[in-house]
Amino acid sequence: MPELPEVETTRRGIAPHVEGRRVTRLIVRDRRLRWPIPEDLAIQIEDQTFASVKRRAKYLLMDIGGGTLISHLGMSGNLRLVPAGTPVLKHEHVDIELDSGMTLRYTDPRRFGAMLWSTDPLNHPLLASLGPEPLSDDFVGERLFRLSRGRSMAVKPFIMDNMVVVGVGNIYATEALFAAGIDPRREAGRISRARYDRLAEEIRRVLAYAIERGGTTLRDFIGGDGQPGYFQQELFAYGRGGQLCKVCGATLSEVRLGQRSSVFCRRCQR
């Protein structure tokens, strides 16, 4: 599933090519995404100009005309730019044709993504209850410490809760916990303030670096410019169960937490 760095990579890839551009035509080949694409979407966006492309958590917010096109990439979706007239392949459900001669094309083999319309996106039911952005000043270790008090759940699913902080998915939670030296099985409520300060720093660092590297290529993710991400080549823990720890040489362990695979080093993480 595309996580926050992949979505931010997509935003950065498409924004320079769509901002200030007018939509000449919307083509919807299949409305059956996680929620149906609105029947009147063409009326809302055709002949309108993109003002900006922003991101909130894993949602892309494309301001256009009198509202915002909210897009989520789901499990396997991607938004990329192709020249007008590029042959359509299987699972390419939506084309937004621009006055530049380029087309913003949405592809989603599993159709778990979304493309919705809102005039008040930050108060949309999908976004209204979300926690702070992990790269913002609002996200600090004190918040993690405060919200974790009395919580017996493991720390990894705790930091993956979008009401605690958005966008810390399985890959980056695994990597941040490794970097912070925290065992993902530890009870969230039994971790000290100092260790949460370190964890918040590592979450920010890991996510920022992954964005610089263009995200993580897992299965079929590609960015908005059609290029894959390269962070996967530098993973310390995620997906490396049974392999040797790059830091201490011990064999990495793999368990399941919150129905997700979790890889960690019993020697480096406490």
pLDDT band at 229, cuts 50/70/90? very low
Q: What is the pTM of this model?
A: 0.88
Q: Give pLDDT tens digits for 136-166.
A: 999 999 999 999 999 999 999 999 999 999 9
Q: Under the phi-then-psi rule, with left for phi > 0, alpha for psi from -120 to 50, and beta for the rest, what region is 239?
A: left
Residue 199 lies in a domain: yes
157 counts as catalytic: no
Domain that holds residue 176: 141-264
61 beta partners: 54, 70
11 is in an annotated binding site: no
Report the candidate in 91, 76, 111 with the shortest Cα–Cα distance to residue 217: 76
Same domain, 154 and 224: yes
Tell me which residue has tokens 């303030």: 193
91 is in an annotated binding site: yes
Q: Give pLDDT tens digits for 160-199.
A: 999 999 999 999 999 999 999 999 999 999 999 999 999 9
22 is in an annotated binding site: no
Instruction: Choose the catalytic residue: 205, 213, 246, 260.
Output: 260
Residue 66 lies in a domain: yes
Q: Give pLDDT tens digits for 78-87.
A: 999 999 999 9
Instruction: Choose the catalytic residue: 58, 80, 198, 240.
Output: 58
3 counts as catalytic: yes
Instruction: Choose the catalytic residue: 3, 8, 97, 133.
Output: 3
Round the average pLDDT of the chain to a whole number and report it.
92
As a whole number, mean pLDDT of residues 204-211 equals: 93
Same domain, 53 and 25: yes
How many domains does the chain divide into?
2
54 counts as catalytic: no
Residue 269 lies in a domain: no
